[in-house]
Structure 1
């Protein structure tokens, strides 16, 4: 097997990866000493996320007496080291995410991609921050600009077609505008600790599902600038890669799980910028193959097609669209989160859940019990603070033209009107999805959830009945924007909502 930077040799139960003697500027494997150095670093870094896979570095030696080639952990006087290789445990190719997902049922995929999002979040929360006292420019605005502009420079030298040049120019100008618009944000995120020592090359081809566990392998070792990055750049790479594979639902699973765990909604201000950057990285990897010797005409045509697909995807990210807000509605236990998750994955839009954000305000994880911690998170003040946080996040996301599915009870008219005013003030359309369920089923669900302790919500039957008594009915104007959904058979009803949402969204765009 071969990539643009390495040769991969498959043995019975192990794999040997040999680095090519190449120098692309951003990567320099030109000498044996450098290749050995980067082999050592590759082992160290990848053991953070996939220790089960990485064995060590071996020397590829020539026997000076016989001329034979052998593998050795160390060299002696009889052997001449001619190359080094990273030694890994071999695993089935079907385990790689790009192939694994093709053979799995929808619910299994949804659970696994959510797990991947959570795993990335856990890694980002623990991997070292770049110290604010460091003199290094890694992860700062200048470093981001350098990496982004280097991409365009390297690609521009390799394209000939005028239409390709025109689209590249369009992307470059948009990117320059975003670099200026977010210049202070890049610096602030560095100061706030969001620039960390990440994986650096986190696309679907570098994730394997082994024993139902995601292993993230083959991180970037050859360039600190590519690895020491804003965590949102890393997330954007995988999200973009999945969208390139027409796996937008799985992309939303990753993104929502990541946000539930980290709460980094402010980072979404940079999501589209980094998705364009990452699409350009993949386009660059494709076009660089044209610069390497060899290859049939048909292979070169396929490479050029791959390049253009990523450019098309990048172009789709820069096209402005008016976002919308969906608010769920209903007492606890009616299936609002199920509905929100369904709509978020398919509409698509970021799933923002009040129960999770309420707990975050008190330093609690999604499934931690406030009662066990001895904290009352349902006081009037706590509720006010929760909706203030939700308001701020929704405002930020709509400003960045990101759809939002806001998951809360919204039983009181004043709270609903707060978000109506916010969204409509930004020229956005608002929809309500009101979840309905029989009282008998409601009681059963809430009692089961209370026993299972597998949900962020801590509402029980008593709270549900209290909510029902305090609920303020939807006004006539609100009902015009409401989809009533019987969650007894939610999937079919929600599919119908999506169809109707699509028609209404298209109508609004035509009017504008």
Structure 2
């Protein structure tokens, strides 16, 4: 009887061992907090360090060692992307690497696995089982990020010229997108609709009537700019760009490195190159450096030979300011930020800029005669100023 019992059980034990060899249960189960604490250990990281700092965002954790930043995606689902599966996170890491190497090839280095061996030891690019993926980035000097440099008044005209030349070359090298004028206008209209829908939500505590009036006026301006928008599409000025071109993403090193492009949506990266440079200029203005924004626009026009109408530039700046107002205000829905003066004040400032640039746009539209085409570059420069 015991022999027969052993004969029946022996194959089963072998099957169990085979199935469970790499199960997480073979090592101690750990919470996300425990895992993050283990990733603070200097021993895990390839570059020998004494300490590891961790930055948490909505969608990722970034581990800062002496020379590198290592980004690990959170296993979450959010608008337009589901990163709960390991394969999805790997795919997203590889997409981030490819997109960002267009403007920051010296920063975005590799996608490497985070591994766990049978003894429970974590390693970067180790020989154990892959449990997650990391984007390896070279760290940049914080003092040379454009937002910090503007605050410290250490930005030169040569710095801004270098940024403009970099962007002009980038946009000039982008392949022509298969998008028609109607679709491009719909994309812009969708942004206006999203801004109105969210900013009129009572939970965000905004003046709904004022927001609706702003959005209606933007729609009217866009309708008047229709010939101009169609011409931008026809002239192949719509590209797959950066998607989130703000001063904190621009590093004033040689060569210029521009990081953190928008990876979640190709639609949101599909922009007029004039829209992106106008957005960057508007963000400089928000930081109290309007003159830097003017120089960026002027140097980009010179480097690219592209001279978008001033009314269009102001329209783009108004629209982007409203988008940023919406994103800032959405923080107020979260329990941690509810009533936060930081996000309330930032929302108000962006809305002020949206109205200011729309006013400039409308003034130019009201003053124009005939088609919206300038034959006087100097007049366009003054209109932008």
Verify: 1:66 aligned to 2:116, yes or no: no
Tell me by how many angstroms 1:24 deviates. 4.3
Verify: 1:79 aligned to 2:110, yes or no: no
Tell me by how many angstroms 1:125 deviates. 1.2
User: 1:139, 1:230 within 8 Å by CA — same for their partners in 2?
Assistant: no
Which residue number in structure 2 is paired with residue 289 of structure 1?
331
Could you say if the C-alpha distance between residues 316 and 150 of structure 1 is closer, same or farther in structure 2, counting changes exceeding 3 Å? same
Where in structure 2 are there 5+ consecutive unaligned residues?
1-54, 365-372
- The aligned runs of 1:180-329 (5 Å cut-off) are 180-211=223-254, 213-295=255-337, 300-320=340-360
Q: 2:86 aligns with which of 32, 52, 75?
A: 32
For 2:182 and 2:68, how far apart are their aligned partners in 1?
35
- The aligned runs of 1:398-417 (5 Å cut-off) are 402=383
Q: 1:157 aligns with which of 180, 201, 206?
A: 201
Could you say if the C-alpha distance between residues 158 and 61 of structure 1 is closer, same or farther in structure 2, counting changes exceeding 3 Å? farther
Q: 1:55 aligns with which of 109, 114, 125?
A: 109
Could you say if the C-alpha distance between residues 148 and 160 of structure 1 is closer, same or farther in structure 2, counting changes exceeding 3 Å? closer
Q: TM-score, normalised by structure 2?
A: 0.74
User: 2:70, 2:135 within 8 Å by CA — same for their partners in 1?
Assistant: yes
Which residue number in structure 1 is paired with residue 185 of structure 2?
141
SS in 2 for 1:140: helix
For 2:326 and 2:286, how far apart are their aligned partners in 1?
15
Which residue number in structure 2 is paired with residue 88 of structure 1?
137
Q: Deviation per CA, 1:325-378, whole angstroms, max 9, x where unpaired? A: xxxxxxxxxxxxxxxxxxxxxxxxxxxxxxxxxxxxxxxxxxxxxxxxxxxxxx
Aligned residues: CA RMSD: 2.9
For 1:30 and 1:155, how far apart are their aligned partners in 2?
29
Verify: 1:112 aligned to 2:159, yes or no: yes
For 1:285 and 1:92, how far apart are their aligned partners in 2?
27
Q: Deviation per CA, 1:43-97, whole angstroms, max 9, x where unpaired? A: 111111111101111223333x233433227xx6x4142x322110112211211
For 2:276 and 2:321, how far apart are their aligned partners in 1?
12
For 2:146 and 2:69, how far apart are their aligned partners in 1?
18
User: 2:192, 2:215 within 8 Å by CA — same for their partners in 1?
Assistant: no
Verify: 1:45 aligned to 2:90, yes or no: no
Q: Deviation per CA, 1:451-506, whole angstroms, max 9, x where unpaired? A: xxxxxxxxxxxxxxxxxxxxxxxxxxxxxxxxxxxxxxxxxxxxxxxxxxxxxxxx
Q: 1:125 aligns with which of 172, 185, 188?
A: 172
Q: Deviation per CA, 1:177-196, whole angstroms, max 9, x where unpaired? A: 12322234333322220011
User: 1:206, 1:218 within 8 Å by CA — same for their partners in 2?
Assistant: yes
Where in structure 1 are there 5+ consecutive unaligned residues?
324-389, 405-512
Could you say if the C-alpha distance between residues 69 and 254 of structure 1 is closer, same or farther in structure 2, counting changes exceeding 3 Å? same
For 1:181 and 1:235, how far apart are their aligned partners in 2?
22
For 2:214 and 2:331, how far apart are their aligned partners in 1?
21
User: 2:309, 2:380 within 8 Å by CA — same for their partners in 1?
Assistant: no
User: 1:14, 1:88 within 8 Å by CA — same for their partners in 2?
Assistant: yes
Q: TM-score, normalised by structure 1?
A: 0.57
